[in-house]
Structure 1
C-alpha cells in the first residue's frame, strides 16, 4: 500500500496570524514540497492554479466558508493533487478564520478516494495571545478551534504581557488539556513542529498525552468541557460500538472531539478510537505489553456534556 500523504489543517480565529505562519512554512528551508489549499470568504474567484513566490502550489477556494459549502471543492482539489502524489510531501489546508475545523477533518474520513490516499496528520490552531480571551466572549468558533486542536501555536507573544500570556495559556488548557502548545512571536515556528507529526494518529495518543489517564473535567464560559473516563474492566467491542454510535448520533453536534484507547476482551492489541462530531474512525494498534495493566480510556471534548451519564454508559460496555 502506498504511503498516505499527510494533510495538516491550519485554523485559528481572524487575525491570529495564519497567513504569516503559512508564509514561513512556504519559504522555509525544509527541502519539502507542500500543496496549499487556502479558503477565504469573498466573491472573487481566483484561478485554482495560482502559484505564489515559492515552490509550492496554492489553490484558493473563494465561494464560501470551507466548513459549509466547499467540502466538494476540497475533495476535488485533493483528488486532483493525488494524481501527482509522488511529488508531494504534504498538503496544508488553511481554513477561513470563522470556520469550525470539524467538517474539514471529516472530509478525510467520509470520502473514500481521499481516505485511500491521504491521512489527516494534525489540526493546528493559531491563538492570538493578545486578543484570544476577548474573542472567547463573542465567538464560539474561537473556543471550538482550540477544542479541536492537536497542536496549538500561541502567537503574537510580543504584543502581550507575560501575565496575559499565562492567562491565555491557562484558558487554552482548560478548554483542551490534550493539545501540544508551542509559543511564537510572528508565526515563526520550525516546520517540523507543525508538519508530519502524526498527531491525529491514535498510535501517538499515549505518547503525546501522558495525562490521558487523568480523570478530570474542565469547563469554561461556553459550557465547553473535557471529560476523561477510564475503566480497568475489559470491554465488549459490540457493546462499545452500540453505545458510542448512539452517543455520537444523539449528541454528536455537541461533542467536538472524542479519543479513546480501548482494551477489548479477547484481543491482545489495543484499539484506538477517535471521532470528530458524529464521524468516527478506529483501528487496532500496538499490542498490550506483557504485565501492562489493560485500562480503557476515553476523552470527550464538547458542550453541555453529562458526565454521570457518559460514565455509566462507558462502564456498561464491560464484557
Structure 2
C-alpha cells in the first residue's frame, strides 16, 4: 500500500509539459494552434492566449474555426499586453489557476503575441517556484513566415529596441517554416540560411499550414509536441545571464501600435473589403497584421478574416448562436497607424439603423458591370453582405457592393 501511495503521489507531482508557441505577427501561430486542437491526438490541452492589441481577436478565431473545441481545452486570454512585458504576472496567476484544474488537461500551450521576446516567458519557468514545481517547458516552437521574414529580420530598430524576429528564432527548439508555397526554392534556401545563422542547431520543418482546398497541413505533431527539446543548459551557454531580470528588459518599437474595435454593429461587407484593399495598397509594408470576426448585414454566419502586409484572406465560418450578440471585433497592428483615420474609415463601413437603401426589390436599375452600364431588376436586398442583388436583363445576376451611384443608379 505504501509503495502504491508513493507512486500515486509521484504521478500527481509530475510537471505538466508546456509548449511555447511564438513567431512574428501573421506567421501562422493561431492556424497551427487550431490544427493542434482539432487533431486526433487524444490529449487534453489548456491554451494560454496572449495578444498585442487593444481588442482580443485570436480567442474568437480559435473557437470559431475549431468546431471540436471542448471545455477541457480552456482558453485563458491575456489581451492588451505582451506576455514578456507587462502581463508576466498574469501568466503566473493563470498557472496557479491551472494547477487547481490539473485533472482536466495533459499539456499546456502558450501562444505568445507576435511582438514577444521568448526569453522572459521561458524565464518565468525558472524564477517562480510555484510555476517551476507545476510545469516544465517541452519546447519553444517558432513559426516563421517564409514570405515576409527577411524584411523583418532586416528591419532597422531604434537604439535599445531589440528585433523580436531575431529573438524568436534564437530561442527556438523547432522552426516551422510556413507559407512555403508563396516563395521559390531558392528563396526558401536563403531563408533557411538566415535562420541557421541565428540558431545553428535548430531543426527546421517546412510546412504550409493553410493547405490548398482546406486540407489539413502535412505536419507531424510528434515533431513539435512531447519532444522534450528545451535545454536550460544550452540557453545558459548562449546567454549566461538568462536568469537575470535585468538581462531581458524588453522595449518595443514605439512606432508599432494597434487600433482595435469591438462593438455591436453589422458591416457592409463589400464596402469593408474595398476599404481593406485601399489600406493594403497605401500602407501594405507597415501593416504587420490585421484580423477580425465580423457580423455582416444579411448573413447569419460569422465572417472571419486575417491579413499580413499585402496578403488578405476572409471566409464565412459557423453561424451565430441563438442569443449570441452579433458584435464585430477587428484589430490592426502596424507602424505609424493613424488612429483617427482608421476609426473613421472603419465606422463608415458599418450599417446604421438610420441607413435606408435607395431601391427596393422589383425596382428597375442599371448596374456598372464588365460590359459597362447594364439594365436589370433588384431581386434581393442585403444578399451575402451586399446591399443589392440584381438580375440583369441579359440573364446574369450581379451584386451591388455599395448603395452609391458609382455601382447602381435608377433606370
Tell me the TM-score range normalised by the shorter chain: 0.5 to 0.7
Q: Secondary structure at the match of 2:53?
A: coil
Write out aligned runs for 1:120-199 (5 A).
120-138=137-155, 140-186=163-209, 188=217, 189-199=219-229
Matched, 1:36 2:79: no
Q: Secondary structure at the match of 2:139?
A: strand
> Which segments of 5 or more consecutive residues in structure 1 lack a partner in the other structure?
206-256, 261-273, 281-319
- Distance change (3 Å), C-alpha of 1:50 and 1:108: farther
1:88 maps to which residue? 105
Query: Which deviates more, 51-60 or 178-187?
Result: 51-60
Q: 1:112 aligns with which of 114, 120, 129?
A: 129
Q: TM-score, normalised by structure 2?
A: 0.49
1:17 maps to which residue? 28
- Distance change (3 Å), C-alpha of 1:72 and 1:127: same
Q: Is the 8 A contact 2:50 2:82 kept in 1?
A: yes
Decide which structure has the larger Cα Rg and report it: 2
Q: Deviations over 1:126-183 (max 9, x none)?
A: 1111111111111611111100111111111111100000000011111101111111
Matched, 1:200 2:230: yes
Q: How many residues align?
A: 214
2:242 maps to which residue? 277
Counterpart CA distance in 2 for 1:50 and 1:77 is 21
> Which segments of 5 or more consecutive residues in structure 2 lack a partner in the other structure?
1-9, 158-162, 211-216, 246-411
The alpha-carbon deviation at position 43 of structure 1 amounts to 3.0
- Distance change (3 Å), C-alpha of 1:44 and 1:155: closer
- Distance change (3 Å), C-alpha of 1:42 and 1:161: same
The alpha-carbon deviation at position 190 of structure 1 amounts to 2.7
Q: TM-score, normalised by structure 1?
A: 0.62
Q: Is the 8 A contact 2:34 2:62 kept in 1?
A: no
Matched, 1:97 2:114: yes
The alpha-carbon deviation at position 50 of structure 1 amounts to 11
Counterpart CA distance in 1 for 2:241 and 2:39 is 31
